[in-house]
Amino acid sequence: MINTTHDHKELRKELKYLKLLSKTFPNIAAASTEIINLSAILHLPKGTEHFLADIHGEAEAFQHILKNASGTIRTKVDEIFGQSLRDSQKRELCTLIYYPYEKLRLIKDAESDMSEWYVVTLNKLIKVLDTVASKYTRSKVRKSLPPKYEYIIQELLHESTVNTHKSAYISVIIKSIISTGNADEFIAAICESIQRLVIDHLHIVGDVFDRGDGAHLIMDTLCDYHNFDFQWGNHDVLWMGAAVGNKACMANLVRIAMRYGNLTTLEDGYGINLLPLARFAMDVYGDDPCAVFQPKLKGNDRTYDDKSVQLLSQMQKAISVIQFKLEHDIITRRPEFEMEDRNLLHRINFDTGTITLPNGSEHPMLDMNFPTIDPKDPYKLTEGESDLVKMLMHSLLQSEKLMKHLNCLYSKGSMYLSINGNLLYHASIPLDENGGFKKVKIQGKGYSGKLLMDKVDRMVRAAHFEKEDLKTRDYALDYIWYLWCGKDSPLFDKHAMTTFERYFIADKETHVEEKGSYFKYQNQRETCEMILKEFGLEGPDTHIINGHVPVKAVKGESPMRADGKLLVIDGGFSRAYQSSTGIAGYTLIFNSQGIQLVQHEPFDSAKVVIERESDIQSITVIREFTSHRMLVKDTDNGKVLQSQVDELKKLLDAYRLGLIKESK
């Protein structure tokens, strides 16, 4: 009797699928080999995941965090070499791994015997690479290596130096690399492989854009990164909205760029022509000091002289007025957004220089020079404003790089992600006053919890991809702006965005943006467990991972909330927030043994790291071990692999029972 796991009847039901599978695995030997291979992979330790949030354009610091894997590479070097290397030697080795070509140039200026240095250094680098590659299969390691040097690196990794003959063989390989003049390129290849293998999967929990001037550089890095996903943040959706044609989103992002003196991303990064805005601002506001529109520049920023600052102020005022008019169009068109209280231009009393807010309070205006506002029709764009909007939108939509980054955000991004027991979303899941899931209306239908997040995700995609149902597409285009500033938006979740009040009213009480109920209940374990359960996650090793709200570590705030069920990893990566957080960001690291939250100190520059071998200072502030060491079989991908093993076993039985014939 043939010993099989599955009977004839069960296998016959799946015969059509198994025949398709047999085309890839045509015989018992092929199916058996794949079962053995997958079963072995399932028992390897899970790969290391890194989580980052709220990068806000700080490209150089972000790229360094990837290069040093949030301090992980330095830890590995310490573990490998211990006391056998001086601290200065370990610092040099780490800096070389981070910036191989730049460091090599400095070393050549100081080193008298480069041949000897190459031999010693290559042996060290191979040891580091061997260590970081040890948890992966040879196949995965091979795919991570630069094709040009794949064979040689594999030989160096897998041949033992204990055997005398093999030791000589390896020595000849290294000497040949040096003698042929390929040492620098080979060292760089190994260093890049180390960087690639030490982070198996990168999660960006929202907000790459705004504030800093390098969002386009961060997106360049991400679009070419080996394995990452992206949970959209409110600032990201603002840029996505502009890139799919929402004029109000465009005005907002241009205004923010003027407010922070960040023209680099727009002009140099995406080739957006701001000259029409500058000309318009000088024509309309040439004699206006625009005092309330002074840009918020970095303390040591000498990019702009007084005249440039004045022009930025005028440009900011020009686009702000346009923004308020464009937003009125959406608010009027979509009464279901319930944002009539954000239409404020008609509430200005041009005779008294005051404004009466929707709550009935009256306040003096800080600025009353509005040459483009007709008190009788305050929301109508002037001909000059209308032309300017068309030029700015045309420039945005013609940017090839922005379109490339937009496609990357759509293909790799989503509103949320459930992965390996962790639930990732940028800001919130809207809750009602009692802490239950809030029902939010979209297109006349109520959604809450997971269904709401799924619906919002579909709306964001419809704004870009919907081509047939134009009514839905137009609604989605407006809704993507709502996600930026709407009170029930999971990416904003405040009662209002008080941009107008912050510019024009001195009373700071009017500036307050009241947070939604989520932020009241997020510290309660029961609430977090309710949210996790809604997304199918239960158990001691499950967590929610958020960004959005900077953790004020300097005031004693903890990034860990709700008895460890919620981790807020916005630690002030952006320089604009570091004065309030007291630190320069967090990285959450999740490996086979558990999670650790790494806190970063402010980053000087790559130049300082290379020259002084100083590195960014990172310390572990939270460490939590999983209830058991996680293997690949415990991950979401492991479940997929296990299901493949199960299907292959069925195919094996079908071959043995003669239901499918083997072929060569």
Q: What's the chain's Rg over C-alpha atoms?
A: 29
Do residues 494 and 390 both lie within one domain?
yes
Q: Is residue 471 part of a domain?
A: yes
| 227 in a structural domain | no
pLDDT digit string (tens) for 289-315? 999 999 988 755 567 888 999 999 999
Long-range contact pairs involving 625-630 (C-beta distance under 8 Å, separation at least 24): 625/593, 625/594, 626/541, 626/592, 626/593, 626/594, 626/595, 627/540, 627/541, 629/45, 629/592, 629/593, 630/45, 630/46, 630/420, 630/591, 630/592, 630/593
pLDDT for residue 463 is more than 60? yes
Instruction: Quote the pLDDT of residue 301.
Output: 59
Q: In terms of domains, do 506 and 642 share one?
A: no
Question: Minimum mean pLDDT among 173-187, 342-356, 496-510: which range?
Answer: 173-187
The per-residue pLDDT for 164 is: 59
Judge whether 662 lies within some domain.
no
- Same domain, yes or no, for 458 and 558? no
Domain of residue 563, residue span: 49-207+522-630
Q: With a cut of 90, say whether residue 156 has pLDDT above it.
A: no
Residue 223 is assigned to a structural domain of this protein: no
Judge whether 2 lies within some domain: no
Q: How many domains does the chain have?
A: 3
Q: Are residues 648 and 610 in the same domain?
A: no
pLDDT for 1 equals 43
Same domain, 193 and 331: no
Using pLDDT thresholds of 50, 70 and 90, give the confidence band for residue 478: very high
Average pLDDT over the chain reads: 92
Measured between alpha carbons, how far is residue 25 from residues 29, 163, 194, 484, 661 in Å? 8, 38, 33, 50, 12
Percent of the chain with pLDDT over 70: 98
Q: Are residues 385 and 483 in the same domain?
A: yes
Indicate whether 213 belongs to any domain.
no
| One domain, residues 440 and 316 | yes
Q: What is the DSSP string of 382-413?
A: PHHHHHHHHHHHHHHHT-HHHHHHHHHHHHHE
Q: How far is CA 555 from CA 136, 361, 518, 527, 639, in A?
A: 41, 34, 22, 25, 42
pLDDT confidence bin for 250, thresholds 50/70/90: very high
